[in-house]
Amino acid sequence: MSKAIRINQIGGPEQLQVVDVQVGEPGAGEIRIRHHAAGLNYIDVYQRTGLYPFAMPLYLGMEGAGVVEAVGAGVTHLQVGDRAAYASQPPGSYCEARVMPAKSVCKLPDTISFETGAAMMLKGLTAQYLLKKTLPQGGLQAGDFVLFHAAAGGVGLIACQWAKALGLQLIGTAGSDEKCAMALQHGAAFAINYSTENFAARVKEITAGKGVKVVYDSVGKDTWDQSLDCLQPFGLLASFGNASGPVPPFAPGILGAKGSLYLTRQTLFSHIATRESTQAMADDLFAVVASGQVHIPIHQRYPLEQVQQAHIDLEARKTTGTTVLTM
Ligand X SMILES: NC(=O)c1ccc[n+]([C@@H]2O[C@H](COP(=O)([O-])OP(=O)(O)OC[C@H]3O[C@@H](n4cnc5c(N)ncnc54)[C@H](OP(=O)(O)O)[C@@H]3O)[C@@H](O)[C@H]2O)c1
| Residues of the shown chain interacting with ligand X in the complex, contacts defined by CB under 6 A | 41-43, 122-123, 126, 150, 152-156, 174-175, 179, 218-219, 222, 240-241, 243-244, 266-268, 314-315, 317, 319
Q: Three-state SS for 95?
A: strand
**Which residue in 44, 120, 123 sits closest to 85, CA to CA?**
120
Find the shortest distance in angstroms from Cβ 7 to ligand X.
18
> Closest CB to ligand X belongs to which residue?
153
Separation of alpha carbons 226 and 198, rounded Å: 8
Separation of alpha carbons 91 and 273, rounded Å: 15
Find the shortest distance in angstroms from Cβ 276 to ligand X.
19
Task: Name which of 23 and 268 has its Cβ closer to ligand X.
Answer: 268
Task: Name which of 207 and 320 has its Cβ closer to ligand X.
Answer: 320
Task: Name which of 26 and 153 has its Cβ closer to ligand X.
Answer: 153
- Establish whether the linkage from the previous residue to 101 is cis, with ω within 30° of 0: no
Task: Name which of 26 and 297 has its Cβ closer to ligand X.
Answer: 297
H-assigned helices in 92-169: 114-133, 154-165
Task: Name which of 244 and 306 has its Cβ closer to ligand X.
Answer: 244
How many CA atoms lie within 13 Å of 50's alpha carbon, on the beta-carbon side?
A: 8
Separation of alpha carbons 238 and 265, rounded Å: 6
Find the shortest distance in angstroms from Cβ 204 to ligand X.
21
